[in-house]
Amino acid sequence: MNNRYHFVTHWHIAGNRQIVYDIISDPLQYPRWWPTVYLEAEEIAHGAEGGLGRLIRLRTKGWLP
């Protein structure tokens, strides 16, 4: 049996728009700055210039309520 889940998260990061964009726009670095949650990040598809169509696979762990 294959269960599929979809989680929506809301992050609050102190900083201006450029600082926040710089942090969240590079998901391949997530394991570097939050290794207890993001175990692996892999680019599956590069996408077009500007990142449109880019596909990233993330392996994560965490506590579910």
Distance CA(26)–CA(9), nearest Å, equals 17
State the alpha helices, DSSP H only, in the chain.
Answer: 17-24, 30-33
pLDDT computed for residue 54 by the predictor: 92
Domain that holds residue 39: 26-60
pLDDT (mean) for 50-65? 86
Identify whether 14 is part of a domain: no
pLDDT computed for residue 65 by the predictor: 61
Identify whether 36 is part of a domain: yes
Q: How many distinct structural domains can be found in the chain?
A: 1
pLDDT tens per residue, range 5-33: 778 888 777 888 898 888 888 999 999 98
Identify whether 33 is part of a domain: yes
Which residues pair with residue 40 across a beta bridge? Answer: 59
pLDDT computed for residue 34 by the predictor: 87
The per-residue pLDDT of the chain, averaged, comes to: 87
